[in-house]
Structure 1
């Protein structure tokens, strides 16, 4: 795998770019995100608990390990995105990165759940363990980005068809959400069979690592890149920032995605507190499974309606239902669990559009950028899209933590003060509602409609001397 700043401008293969994709290709592409969904879910739910309760790190150092991993994860996205754009390889500029990163990705995920023996007392000298987990976190997130970012950039390379791209993302997030649910089920089964805490996580991490790596190879085997050579030249980090923030349509997508993703992260991070302290539920996992299970089914429903109504209208419909759910979550009486599950179902219908629509808008933005610049820079745009996803997670967790601390929340209390309960309800209702409304406003003004995208494709094909694209 090599990269070059002197490669020729990219040229599409002879296969007609508007050709509909086969079911095998869609399945192969979709399964590529399954490993990311599994590993991310296990880390979100269990990593902080593992570092403190199993490995024995002080909470402050454990939190610092998470911060180090996420900080590096955000830094390396634009770097790897640009390198991916410039890569020349007989395996393809995206596939080569996925193949090389797959096994190290699984390996470093696995060893991150082990407790090494450094011959010292972690209670008196935790630093060897801190550096071990911090270095493993940096390496894991490096190889995670090395496979996941080029994978995401495959979307516009597999097809130029407006509707097929939405369909591709339906398959992608179906496998991603299915992977997250499967990982949670596996954790419950393994934890129920093994008493030793350390061995629980070793077994779980080993099983997840194997199951996360195999789909990457299946994805490479079942997909074919449209663009086989690199972009004309590379961009520095600041040049990348200039590109993305001078592209008007991308700014709208950034806003739409960040608004919906931040709303989702706020809700996901506060739901355990809401379930336990407002609803009296010990385990919030059934609520998460209800939301994610509904989102899986609705991905294909929304993909169908997107063909009929367009991406923007589907986003309007989904967000409207999600807004209704968030409003009722604030007013829901204590202990009304039956209606709570209905609201989770309603929210899942809307959340599926947050997965589907912004990611299917990005390829259209890339086409417009190619029309303006003559280059395909998928890696740059997807890098900043992923960076914002991680930024949304960090902001969401920070906002929840600050709200709980200011309100007087105390985890040692069986019954929380009224101020803490109100903060929990505000964080699950009105606060996400504000972001969802902002997302709707931005979607209304999003400039690339289906008609505009057809015009972009027509001009691109005329420039390349290709037949005019077919449209539904």
Structure 2
């Protein structure tokens, strides 16, 4: 496929099955790498690398501080590369994806055992920067390639289905490798890293070949040449521009739901493997089987959530998902308290409830994210997909780091001893408290936010109709219902929309 042939008029080029598939498959890297890291890297660091829990948490923290600069900068640059020759030839988004492909083996070198703290810090930071370089432009492409509500929902759905498939692999693969290499072999994780690095390169290549974005002419029509900034001006305006996205009401609420759903899973994932091994008297293989089964259930849950999000309210689907996940956590802890241990078939009950909830919680925020640039366009008259992707990725990484750092700090305070075959009763009770209170508190937060989120298929159609009216010159007077809906979604008075505000 010729590079220049990928440029087409957005909204009129048909999205074929292979475009959906290539877009979705790339989340094998996006979510797959995070599933592997959240499920296994803490256990790997503390069991096979000689790191203390607080050192593992520090690696996450340092990486996120550096990413606080890198992720928003990548989003900002990609929004403004349409004025450059390389951006006009290859694409302002897709050039980043192309450049990241040869760097993706950085994921594999994270999993070499027996190295120093500085080695693990450097390799983790390197992969995180490569990850941001690829995933931020990727997250803009659904909004670039699709215009209507259903197409964007399908993009989100296929993406999360691939994400859950990669999570299944991340759950089961260590157990399969353990059977071949032995319970105490650190090579289990190295081989897993190599396999995933190869998958990342393949799926990123497919994404580059079978995706497209807005033409330079379309971008110029949305953002005229007069808006171009010098490099220094752009850098000075970077954070003001990016965090102005937080002045879009729908995006603020979306972030609250996103954080509630994802941080709850971060806390659960960080503690779960330790909980299975030390509280339930299981093994790494047992934890691998339980995680893999949970991810299979999540895969099914995503398909259910796609239907619910299209036919009902995303907020209502989110609330039901949070309830299911909370039930799973409560039942798991109740069984542990009652003496249920590894090997009992009863453990499949909480795994089922947790998986159903987690799958939907993974899908819904990314389904609603694809419409945030539409809400922003009504406010500013511009398309800033890159800015929103940068903030999303930055917030995701910072909060995941905070969750992991918090879990490791509490574990250390509770008496957890790295490398020990058996943990004290105090350490095990601390793990249970982290798993229960941390997870459920974040779910409650997300549900409270979702009660105020009113973007759905009907309100999105009103939004897009109002954008079309402004594009046509703003003739006519919107009815009271349209004014109410647009003001609720944007957080701005109707007479301030379409650039008549400080953001525009």
Task: Tell me whether 1:378 sits opposite 2:378 in the alignment.
Answer: no
Deviations 1:268-311 (A, max 9, x none): 11212332333222231122112211111221221112221131
Pairwise CA distance, 1:334: 2.2
Task: Tell me whether 1:182 sits opposite 2:169 in the alignment.
Answer: yes
Pairwise CA distance, 1:82: 0.6
Task: Tell me whether 1:311 sits opposite 2:306 in the alignment.
Answer: no
Aligned to 2:431: 424
Q: Distance in 2 between matches of 1:58 and 1:95?
A: 40
Structure 2, unaligned runs of 5 or more: 1-6, 229-233, 474-504
Task: Tell me whether 1:225 sits opposite 2:213 in the alignment.
Answer: yes
Tell me how many residue pairs correspond in the alignment: 441
CA distance 1:149–1:457, change in 2 (3 Å)? same
Q: Cα RMSD (Å) of the superposition?
A: 3.1
Task: Tell me whether 1:290 sits opposite 2:293 in the alignment.
Answer: yes
Aligned to 1:23: 17
Scaled by the length of structure 2, the TM-score of the pair is 0.78
Out of 196-205 and 63-72, give the one that drifted further: 196-205
Q: Distance in 1 between matches of 2:248 and 2:188?
A: 48
Q: SS state of the match for residue 282, structure 2?
A: coil
Q: Distance in 1 between matches of 2:54 and 2:439?
A: 28
Scaled by the length of structure 1, the TM-score of the pair is 0.83
Out of 79-88 and 394-403, give the one that drifted further: 394-403
Q: SS state of the match for residue 91, structure 2?
A: coil
Pairwise CA distance, 1:183: 4.0
Q: Distance in 2 between matches of 1:305 and 1:61?
A: 42
2:80–2:92 contact (8 Å) kept in structure 1: yes
Q: SS state of the match for residue 429, structure 1?
A: helix
1:206 pairs with 194, 217, 228, which one? 194
Deviations 1:43-96 (A, max 9, x none): 445545666766667877665444433332333111111111112222222111
Q: SS state of the match for residue 370, structure 2?
A: helix
Q: Distance in 2 between matches of 1:449 and 1:404?
A: 41
Q: SS state of the match for residue 87, structure 1?
A: helix
CA distance 1:343–1:169, change in 2 (3 Å)? same
CA distance 1:80–1:163, change in 2 (3 Å)? same
Q: Distance in 2 between matches of 1:185 and 1:321?
A: 23
Aligned to 1:452: 459
Aligned to 1:414: 422
2:28–2:166 contact (8 Å) kept in structure 1: yes
Q: Distance in 1 between matches of 2:433 and 2:151?
A: 39
Pairwise CA distance, 1:378: 1.0
CA distance 1:291–1:248, change in 2 (3 Å)? same
Pairwise CA distance, 1:246: 1.4
Structure 1, unaligned runs of 5 or more: 1-11, 116-121, 467-472
Task: Tell me whether 1:335 sits opposite 2:378 in the alignment.
Answer: no
1:85–1:377 contact (8 Å) kept in structure 2: yes
Deviations 1:231-270 (A, max 9, x none): 5445733313541221111111111111111111111112
